[in-house]
Amino acid sequence: MNGVEVVVNEDVIALERMNRLLRREMRARGITTEGERDQLKSAIYLEFVRDLVTRQGGEDLGLDRKMVDRIVADWWKRRTEQEGGIRDMNEWLKERGVTATEQREEYADLVYRQQWQRVITGEDAGPGGRPVVDAYVRPSERLRRYESICRGARHLDEIGGEAPRYVLQELLIPTSNGAAVEAARATIEDLVRQVREEGEDFPTLVAEFGQRAGEGLSGRIPITEVDRRYGRELALFVERAAQGDLSPVLPIQREGQVAAWRVVRVNEIVPAQVPGFADPEVQERVWKLERRLRQQRLLDQALTERLRASYVWPRLGAGGPARPGDADAP
């Protein structure tokens, strides 16, 4: 298996190809540490495996290779013209670190993957012209999606409404070193007790003890931004909270260590703006959203099924790819 980085069923990815892409992505992202490099390599590995499995799905559809070659040739001609000619095209290939043959094959792989996706999502018919899935979104399904959006408030922006906005205020107590973790937690829990039991003013405590600029205020942000800034656990709390509620005391982790403790107060909740379903434009947006979510669900299910049915080496695992020499390696 020398020189082989990934095996998926009958296909292999060469070590040099993996390393070439890894070097290119490290330069593009400015990665210099070994930890970041390992994370990037695992992400590239997973992407390679998924791409191979979906490309094999496209091949299983029985696409005519000559037709694929014609598509690739047409793309190559257009790309060369876009780059300004053969000389500039060669420079583009050099920057990517690939040969013309390798680039053509990469595009052919993309054609197979896209065709598999189109069949799985019902955009195209399957082998023999038979539909694989029912892609029609019925009026009742459109209405159910609208009602679901109204209940949960997610995706409201996509149908012409506005999701609830929240103004949060954060009290943050950092830990200076490992020994101070529990002391910092005790401090913030005592401050929370003062607010809840003694009626202390939360903004005053934030100003006196907090470590965030701008009085720890978030501005009016949707729940997706709460999730991005503060994490999923706090976002779940905010979705269920009433105005004035305090969150549980939660840790902020950095490199496996508690760097700080935080508690957040929901200062303001701006109610959702829900558009009426009778509006034809709203119905059109709901239809597009339902179709997109259904297509993604179908793709996820189909990819999971193909991965389960595939032979993959090194194996996919939570701890990263297994290395050559592991017990299950060929």
Of 111, 130, 149, which closes a domain? Answer: 130
Of 270, 289, 320, which closes a domain? Answer: 270
CATH number of the domain that residue 224 is part of: 3.10.50.40
In this structure, are 249 and 126 located in the same domain? Answer: no
CATH number of the domain that residue 81 is part of: 1.10.4030
What are 151-197's pLDDT values in tens digits? 877 899 999 999 899 999 999 998 875 558 888 999 999 999 999 99
In this structure, are 158 and 280 located in the same domain? Answer: yes
- d(CA 251, CA 233) in angstroms, rounded, equals 11
pLDDT of residue 161: 93
In this structure, are 296 and 229 located in the same domain? Answer: no
What are 215-242's pLDDT values in tens digits? 788 889 999 899 999 999 999 999 999 9
Of 244, 270, 296, which closes a domain? Answer: 270
In this structure, are 58 and 11 located in the same domain? Answer: yes
How many domains are there within the chain? 3
Mean pLDDT of the chain: 87
Average pLDDT over residues 127-139: 83
325 backbone φψ class: left, alpha, beta (φ>0; ψ -120 to 50): left
Q: Give the closest residue to 46 by CA, choosing from 271, 315, 279, 278.
A: 315
In this structure, are 279 and 228 located in the same domain? Answer: no
pLDDT of residue 178: 54
In this structure, are 174 and 198 located in the same domain? Answer: yes
In this structure, are 181 and 318 located in the same domain? Answer: no
In this structure, are 56 and 199 located in the same domain? Answer: no
The domain in which residue 280 lies consists of 136-163+275-330
Please state, in angstroms and as integers, the Cα–Cα distance from residue 168 to each residue in 145, 171, 209, 216, 221, following that order. Answer: 29, 10, 17, 8, 9
Please state, in angstroms and as integers, the Cα–Cα distance from residue 272 to each residue in 17, 161, 251, following that order. Answer: 49, 8, 30
